[in-house]
C-alpha cells in the first residue's frame, strides 16, 4: 500500500514560509548579498595582508587587527540574521502582517551594510598601494587589473 507522499516544491515552500512577495524578494536580495560577500572574501583572500582591520570600536593600532580568515564572520552573521528574522517573521506573522515585512526589509538593509563594511575593510587594508604615486583602491585594481587609468587634472 502506498501512503500519501508529499512532493517537495520550492515555490510552494517559499510561499508558505514567506507569504509576502516583498518579504521573499528582500530575503532573496539578502541571500544574494551573502553569496557576494563569501565570493569576494574567497577571491581576495590570497591578496589580503595577514591581518586586516576588523574591530573598529577598539583603540587605534594592533588592537583593531584580526586574521584575514575572520572576515568570514561578516557573511556568517548576516546568514544567521536571515535565518533568525525568517523564523521570527514566520512566528509573528499571525500577530501582525507588518512585522514580517519590516524584518525582511531590515534584513536586506543590514546585509547591504555588511557588504559595504567588507568593501571598506578591503579598501582600508590596501590603502598604501599606489600607481604613479596615487593611492588606488585594491578591490577595483583586482577587478579591472592594469586597465585602470587615472587622469587627474588640477
For residue 142, being part of any structural domain is answered with: no
Q: Confirm whether 148 is domain-assigned.
A: no
Of 23, 16, 14, the closest CA to residue 102 belongs to: 23
Assigned domain for 88 exists = yes
* Per-residue pLDDT, 149: 52
Three cell numbers, residue 29? 536580495
DSSP letter string over 65-82? EEEGGGGGHHHHHHHHHH
Write the burial class of residue 79 (CB in 10 Å: 0-12 exposed, 13-18 middle, 19+ buried). middle
- Alpha carbon separation from 112 to 7, 40, 74 (Å, rounded): 35, 14, 11
pLDDT of the residue at 45: 84
| Residue 141, domain member (yes or no) | no
Write the DSSP string, 21-46: HHHHHHHHHHHHHHHHHHHHHHHHTT
Give Dmax (Cα) for the chain: 84
Each residue's pLDDT tens digit, 25-54: 888 999 999 999 999 999 888 888 888 888
State residue 147's pLDDT score.
53
Domain that holds residue 41: 10-126
Total residues belonging to the chain: 154
Establish if 5 belongs to a structural domain: no
Q: Is the pLDDT of residue 94 over 80?
A: no
The string of pLDDT tens digits covering residues 120-151 is: 888 766 554 444 444 444 445 555 555 555 44
Residue 18 lies in a domain: yes
The predicted model scores a pTM of 0.70
* Number of structural domains in the chain: 1
Identify whether 2 is part of a domain: no
Amino acid at each position: 500500500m502506498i501512503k500519501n507522499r508529499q512532493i517537495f516544491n520550492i515555490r510552494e515552500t517559499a510561499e508558505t514560509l514567506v507569504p509576502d512577495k516583498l518579504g521573499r524578494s528582500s530575503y532573496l536580495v539578502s541571500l544574494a548579498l551573502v553569496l557576494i560577500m563569501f565570493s569576494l572574501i574567497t577571491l581576495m583572500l590570497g591578496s589580503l595582508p595577514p591581518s586586516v582591520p576588523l574591530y573598529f570600536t577598539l583603540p587605534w593600532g594592533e588592537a583593531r587587527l584580526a586574521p584575514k580568515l575572520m572576515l568570514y564572520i561578516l557573511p556568517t552573521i548576516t546568514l544567521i540574521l536571515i535565518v533568525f528574522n525568517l523564523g521570527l517573521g514566520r512566528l509573528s506573522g499571525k500577530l501582525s502582517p507588518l512585522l514580517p515585512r519590516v524584518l525582511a526589509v531590515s534584513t536586506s538593509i543590514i546585509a547591504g551594510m555588511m557588504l559595504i563594511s567588507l568593501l571598506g575593510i578591503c579598501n582600508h587594508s590596501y590603502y598604501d598601494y599606489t600607481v604613479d604615486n596615487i593611492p588606488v583602491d585594491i578591490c577595483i585594481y583586482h577587478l579591472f587589473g592594469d586597465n585602470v587609468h587615472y587622469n587627474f587634472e588640477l
